[in-house]
Amino acid sequence: MARPAESTGTQSVDRAAGLLTRVVQADDPVAFGDLADATGLPRSTASRLLSALERADLLARDETGGWVPGPLFDVYAVRRTDDDALAGAAAATMRALGEATGETVNLGVARYGTVIQLAQIDSTFRLGSRNWVGTDVPAHCSSLGKVFYAYGALEVPQGELEKLTEHSLTSGDALRAALPGIRRLGYATTVDELEPGLTGVGAPVRRRGAVVAALGISAPTSRLAAALDETGALVSRHARALSDRLDHIQEGAA
């Protein structure tokens, strides 16, 4: 009796993952025959799976024909290096903004169609914001996300948007209409749009004019909403200071 498609598909994934793991963990390129022997796979099956992994850029062959990690691993490594460098360069500015406001400070980048939080300085208040690093939130409900939409780092979605609270923007048109004001002010805000009682303010961080990140703070609405203009100007100043630092670092590395 033939195995169910789901079982067969899962088995193929497991076998491909086993091949990928052996190549990635190896110190040197791995010969095809060694992979087939080590996994116990028929050579035709091993060849088919390796070819699929190669097409997906997960594996590649060196000049001798040995299997090595593919280009996607290089892309990931470069991005991680860039992320770590950006977070390191922003640390002093983030601490200064945290000391000036006492609120939670976040640094985020636009990636994979959403906002990835790279680093955070926690609030000094007992009633503060949560740890957002590694948390995925809808970009249209985030002040950092609105910054990326305003400056073209994220594409404005079409149609309806997820409504998390009664204050959330619910359409791409509504979001698009808010972007000129963000560019004019130089910062974006969210008030009770992600969750009731939470307000955020974010500003663009540039490297040689291009927006590469966003710096922001989040706090209970009861503390922050009444001072959005003052807070927006403060966050913008710190974002510009970080932008200047990034340009200086890049010039020094040139």
Lowest mean pLDDT, pick from 5-14, 191-200, 238-247:
5-14
pLDDT in tens, 157-184: 999 999 999 999 999 999 999 999 999 9
* Residue 70 φ/ψ region, left for φ over 0, alpha for ψ in the -120 to 50 degree band, beta for the rest: beta
Q: What is the pLDDT of residue 111?
A: 83
pLDDT in tens, 98-126: 999 999 999 999 987 889 899 999 998 86
Class of the 5-69 domain? Answer: mainly alpha
Indicate the fold that domain 75-253 takes in CATH: Beta-Lactamase (3.30.450)
Query: What phi and psi values does residue 62 have, to the nearest 5 degrees?
Result: -85, -170
Provide the residue ranges of all domains of the chain, joining segments of one domain with +: 5-69, 75-253
Cut 0.85: pTM above it: no
Residue 3 has pLDDT above 50, yes or no: no
Residue 218 has pLDDT above 70, yes or no: yes
pLDDT, greater one: 114 or 236: 236
What's the rounded mean pLDDT across residues 196-209?
95
User: DSSP for 34-76?
Assistant: HHHHHHT--HHHHHHHHHHHHHTTSEEE-TTS-EEE-HHHHHH
Q: What is the mean pLDDT of the chain?
A: 88
Residues in Cβ contact with 95 at an 8 Å cutoff, skipping those fewer than 6 apart: 121
Cα(254)–Cα(247) distance, rounded to whole angstroms?
A: 10
Q: What is the pLDDT of residue 134?
A: 64
pLDDT in tens, 21-76: 999 888 889 999 999 999 999 999 999 999 999 999 999 998 889 999 988 877 66
* DSSP-assigned letter for residue 113: T
